[in-house]
């Protein structure tokens, strides 16, 4: 699911011309070279995920030892704009899943799989946050990644504001919510907003919601895995829409 670009000049050219394609940039542990520093500073300014790797690992990623200390993983996936998704909705009342920053590719893949099975219109990610959409995500999606439309939002606030202008409600999953998820009207155009693993929804994300909903917990555990929570809510949305 990824193409690899390596070498200082090649990665710098890529980051200056097509930063939206870059999922993550890996650097050698010693980034004292001026061009490596320039790439690192630019990546951080553009909020492109970066990581450190040993020379052997960089050679494995690049497929050659001539990587010059830097490799960029670039998505070969087509990303849609919000307008493109809304111009060709899958449902008369669209359903969109927004994942602002999940770090486990298995969770992202599982949610994409369930979203496709439940008939959602798209899954939206936040640019520069969370795991890159890679081969692990594709495997966890069990092929659903080939059918589900993906979108990258540059700004969560602006993206959700645009969707609200188009008539969407923003439903956020939160275990502290008073409202049960079955009390939410999912027949309306809906954005399902999921929090990060282990952190949930931060304060800034909570400010963007219209409806907070929870899954009732009768056992000893306090919460469910985010992909399970998303699956339950997506199937409740499908149940309401088919009834």
Domain with CATH 3.40.1280.10 in the chain: 82-242
- The DSSP secondary-structure symbol of 145 reads G
Residue-wise pLDDT tens digits, 157-169: 999 999 999 999 9
CATH class of 2-75: alpha beta
Counts of helices then strands in the chain (DSSP H, E): 9, 10
Residue-wise pLDDT tens digits, 30-56: 888 899 999 999 999 998 999 999 999
How far from 72 is each of 53, 89, 134, CA to CA, in Å?
Answer: 12, 33, 13
The fold adopted by the segment(s) 82-242 is: Alpha/beta knot (3.40.1280)
Pair 239, 188: CB distance under 8 Å: no
E-strand stretches of 54-127: 70-75, 95-99, 122-126
Pair 153, 128: CB distance under 8 Å: no
pLDDT of residue 183: 96
pLDDT of residue 165: 94
pLDDT of residue 2: 66
pLDDT of residue 1: 60
**pTM across the whole model:** 0.76
pLDDT of residue 109: 94
- Geometric angle at alpha carbon 85, from 80 and 89, rounded to 5°: 150
pLDDT of residue 204: 66
Pair 70, 64: CB distance under 8 Å: no
Domain with CATH 3.30.1330.30 in the chain: 2-75
Pair 180, 213: CB distance under 8 Å: yes
Per-10-residue mean pLDDT for the chain, 243 residues long? Answer: 83 86 89 90 92 92 90 85 94 94 92 96 91 81 90 92 95 90 97 83 75 87 87 97 90
């Amino acid at each position: 699911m990824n193409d690899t670009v390596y070498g200082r000049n090649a990665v710098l050219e890529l980051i200056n011309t097509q930063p939206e394609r870059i999922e993550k940039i890996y650097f050698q542990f010693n980034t004292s070279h001026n061009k490596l520093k320039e790439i690192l500073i630019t990546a951080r300014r553009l909020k492109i995920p970066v990581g450190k790797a040993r020379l052997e690992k960089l050679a494995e990623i690049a497929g050659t030892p001539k990587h010059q200390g830097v490799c960029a993983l670039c998505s070969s996936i087509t990303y849609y704009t919000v307008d493109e998704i809304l111009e060709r909705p899958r449902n008369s009342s669209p359903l969109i899943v927004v994942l602002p920053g999940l770090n486990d590719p298995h969770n992202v893949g599982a949610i994409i799989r369930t979203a496709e099975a439940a008939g959602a219109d798209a899954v939206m990610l936040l640019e520069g946050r969370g795991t890159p959409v890679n081969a692990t995500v594709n495997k966890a999606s069990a092929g659903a990644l080939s059918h589900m439309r993906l979108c990258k939002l540059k700004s969560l606030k602006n993206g959700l504001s645009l969707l609200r202008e188009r008539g969407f409600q923003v439903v956020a999953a939160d275990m502290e919510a008073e409202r049960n998820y079955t009390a939410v009207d999912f027949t309306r155009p809906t954005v399902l907003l999921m929090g990060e693993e282990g952190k949930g929804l931060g304060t800034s994300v909570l400010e963007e919601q219209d409806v907070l909903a929870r899954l009732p917990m009768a056992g000893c555990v306090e919460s469910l895995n985010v992909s399970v929570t998303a699956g339950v809510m997506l199937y409740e949305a499908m149940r309401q829409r088919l009834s």
